[in-house]
């Protein structure tokens, strides 16, 4: 094994003379070296012997990574073994990492970050085309070449072929938890979308200076990644839509590479950015726990992309305990506890202005969404679905009609039914009754609308009724979820019934506002809350 001393002159592979150490990570130590055959400087990563089978697996996969050719992917020249230890010979990039840059010079501007993101998306795309997943995209693994500013994605040492598990045979989790996608945290199969999640965290870190999931413990980090509400901070400016899309917890709904590139290209060109690309403070907290939400009425409401799963309390406790125990042992042990089905008895969180409990139990239906004709809450008569719609009975305790083909998702506040193209959303929130009644709820939402719905305009709140009950309607236009979709128009009605606040909301691109209004009316006309004892809702 090579030594660290300045006079070290070990030659490996018959040609690479090792020199000073450049850095050390969990999987290996990187040294400068001289390729005596070609007369050039290179970097040599010595994989740690104690990495065992993981190191040998990384060596095998490095041979695959060596086939990736892209200007923003570090070039792998060779893979050799010396005294039974695996070494990867790579291009030497003169310059520090993005982590070094952030530590010494502070955050990047949104425009600089957009250009960085485009480079890294190109690198990831080239890797994914070869079936290779990076699995550890973070600032420390992005090198910034001195003089040119070229960003180079490096350290594919824990890369895996697409479809491979993220957990080794020994049960050790590999990667950096703050930058790891929720599906990998659950021990589930992860694809290219997992790298895109990590890129989303990196982009947020580049602008704010800190990972949005930074916490004081491994358990806290995991809870933030998997459960806490996600709201991209205001400082991201025009980068908010792309970060919001990349931090979608459901990998199937996560923003794809080509669309992310289009959004970043618009940011890099200066669209929506003033002057040199700076965006005003403050930097908001990105991930809010349910407790923080209940105690911070000024906190922004969660984004559409936030999708924390509701789980049994025992599942959460068991997960954190397992992770803390694993940390003491020197590894982060991944469990599959998070894969358990969500508790159908847990409803949506209350609004930001509510001082009530974070989770409000409502009667559960069988399954998440089953087709069944609901009954009118007062008369018991069936409310049939209009043509082109289907009636669903939702696990959160209500029934309504949604367009055929719409898919169910959730975020911290709502159950959401999304159109096949994802641009039209029908959301339903169930929460405790709140002070000021429906009108007060909507007026507070409107007052905070600029935070929760960037670009809020043409907004109004009016008192109305629903099924003879006092209600309030909030109608507004806003910038929408992504630049590609453009501005959205939204209709939001809330009312109270039997001590419960019900809120039905529809948002769609402004060009489809009439269609959205039709879906909104159909949802309200067919909506039936869960009935409680005595036949009263």
Mean pLDDT of the region 355-361: 24
Band (82; pLDDT cuts 50, 70, 90): confident
Average pLDDT, the chain: 74
Q: Based on the domain organization, do 481 and 435 belong to the same domain?
A: yes
Q: What whole-number distance in Å separates Cα of residue 311 and Cα of residue 226?
A: 11
Of 78, 136, 228, 411, the active-site residue reads 136
pLDDT of residue 428: 94
Contact residues for 8 (Cβ-Cβ < 8 A; gap 6+): 2, 18, 19
Which tens digit of pLDDT belongs to each residue from 429-454?
998 888 889 999 999 999 988 888 88
Q: What whole-number distance in Å separates Cα of residue 88 and Cα of residue 30?
A: 9
The CATH number that applies at residue 114 is 1.10.510.10
**Residue 270: alpha-carbon gap to chain centroid:** 25
pLDDT of residue 493: 95
160 φ/ψ angles, rounded to the nearest 5 degrees: -135, 155
Q: Which two tokens stand for residue 190?
A: 């992860």
pLDDT of residue 3: 52
Q: Is 73 contained in some domain?
A: yes
**Residue 188: alpha-carbon gap to chain centroid:** 16
Q: What is the DSSP letter of 216?
A: S
| Percent of the chain topping pLDDT 90 | 37
Q: Which two tokens stand for residue 104?
A: 């010494």
Q: Is 333 contained in some domain?
A: no
492 labelled catalytic:
no
- The more confident residue out of 354 and 405 is 405
Q: What whole-number distance in Å separates Cα of residue 92 and Cα of residue 388?
A: 60
Mean pLDDT of the region 107-128: 95
Cis peptide before 124 (omega within 30 of 0): no
Mean pLDDT of the region 488-498: 92
Q: What is the residue range of 502's domain?
A: 347-535
- Cβ atoms of 89 and 79 within 8 Å: the answer is yes
Which tens digit of pLDDT belongs to each residue from 156-165?
755 554 544 3
Closest by CA position to 254, among listed 243, 266, 268, 238: 243
**DSSP assignment string, 446-491:** HHTHHHHSTT-EEEEEEEEEETTEEEEEEEEEE--S-TTT--EEEE
Which tens digit of pLDDT belongs to each residue from 260-283?
999 999 999 875 544 333 333 333
For the chain, give the longest Cα–Cα distance. 89
Q: Which of 41-50, 219-228, 373-382, 525-534 has the highest mean pLDDT?
A: 219-228
Q: Based on the domain organization, do 362 and 506 belong to the same domain?
A: yes
Q: Based on the domain organization, do 146 and 183 belong to the same domain?
A: yes
Mean pLDDT of the region 205-213: 94
Q: Based on the domain organization, do 111 and 78 belong to the same domain?
A: no
Q: Based on the domain organization, do 391 and 492 belong to the same domain?
A: yes
Q: Based on the domain organization, do 278 and 188 belong to the same domain?
A: yes
**What domain count does the chain have?**
3
Q: What is the 3-state secondary structure (H, E, C) of 385-434?
A: CCCCEEEEEECCCEEEEEECCCEEEECCCCEEEECCCCCCEEEEEEEECC
pLDDT of residue 281: 35
The CA-based angle 112-116-119, given to 5 degrees, is 145
Which of the listed residues 91, 118, 134 is the one where a domain comes to its end?
91
Q: Is 160 contained in some domain?
A: no
- The more confident residue out of 200 and 387 is 200
pLDDT of 400 over the 60 cut: yes
pLDDT of 374 over the 60 cut: no
Closest by CA position to 470, among listed 445, 444, 446, 434: 434
């Amino acid at each position: 094994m090579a030594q660290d001393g300045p006079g070290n002159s070990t030659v490996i592979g018959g040609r690479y003379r090792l020199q000073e150490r450049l850095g050390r990570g969990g999987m290996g130590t990187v040294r400068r070296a001289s390729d005596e055959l070609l007369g050039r400087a290179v970097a040599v990563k010595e994989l740690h012997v104690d990495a065992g089978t993981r190191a040998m697996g990384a060596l095998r996969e490095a041979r695959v990574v060596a086939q990736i050719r892209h200007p923003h992917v570090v070039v792998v020249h060779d893979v050799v073994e010396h005294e039974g230890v695996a070494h990867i010979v790579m291009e030497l990039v003169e310059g520090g990492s993005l982590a070094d840059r952030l530590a010494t010079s502070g955050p990047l501007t949104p425009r600089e970050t957009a250009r960085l993101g485009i480079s890294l998306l190109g690198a990831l795309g080239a890797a994914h085309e070869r079936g290779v997943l990076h699995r550890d995209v973070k600032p420390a693994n992005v090198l910034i070449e001195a003089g040119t500013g070229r960003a180079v994605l490096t350290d594919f040492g824990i890369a895996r072929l697409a479809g491979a598990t993220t957990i080794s045979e020994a049960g050790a989790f590999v990667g950096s938890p703050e930058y790891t996608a929720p599906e990998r945290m659950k021990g589930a199969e992860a694809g290219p979308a997992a790298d895109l999640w990590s890129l989303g965290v990196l982009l947020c870190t580049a602008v704010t200076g800190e990972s949005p999931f930074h916490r004081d413990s491994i358990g806290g980090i995991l809870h933030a990644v998997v459960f806490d509400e996600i709201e991209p901070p205001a400082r991201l400016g025009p980068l908010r839509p792309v970060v919001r899309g990349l931090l979608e917890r459901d990998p199937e709904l996560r923003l794809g590479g080509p669309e992310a590139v289009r959004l970043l290209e618009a940011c890099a060109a200066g669209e929506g950015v003033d002057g040199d690309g700076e965006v005003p403070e403050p930097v908001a907290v990105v991930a809010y726990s349910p407790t923080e939400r209940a105690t911070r009425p000024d906190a922004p409401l969660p984004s559409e992309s936030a999708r924390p799963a509701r789980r049994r309390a025992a599942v959460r406790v068991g997960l954190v305990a397992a992770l803390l125990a694993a940390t003491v042992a020197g590894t982060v042990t991944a469990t599959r506890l998070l894969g358990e089905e969500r508790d159908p008895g847990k409803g949506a969180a209350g609004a930001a202005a509510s001082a009530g409990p974070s989770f409000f139990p409502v009667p559960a239906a069988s399954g998440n969404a089953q087709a069944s004709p609901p009954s009118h809450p007062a008369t018991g008569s069936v409310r049939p679905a209009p043509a082109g719609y289907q009636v669903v009975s939702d696990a959160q305790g209500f029934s309504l009609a949604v367009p055929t083909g719409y898919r169910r998702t959730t975020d911290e506040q709502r159950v959401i039914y999304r159109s096949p193209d994802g641009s039209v959303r029908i959301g339903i929130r169930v929460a405790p009754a709140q002070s000021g009644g429906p009108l007060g709820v909507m007026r507070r939402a409107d007052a905070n609308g600029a935070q929760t719905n960037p670009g809020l305009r043409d907004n109004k709140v009016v008192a109305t009724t629903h099924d003879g009950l006092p209600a309030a309607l909030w109608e507004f236009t806003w910038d929408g979820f992504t630049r590609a979709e453009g501005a959205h128009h939204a209709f939001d009605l809330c009312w109270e019934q039997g001590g419960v606040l019900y809120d039905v909301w529809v948002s769609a691109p402004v060009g489809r506002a009439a269609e959205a209004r039709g879906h909104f009316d159909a949802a309200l006309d067919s909506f039936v809350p869960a009935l409680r004892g005595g036949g009263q809702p």
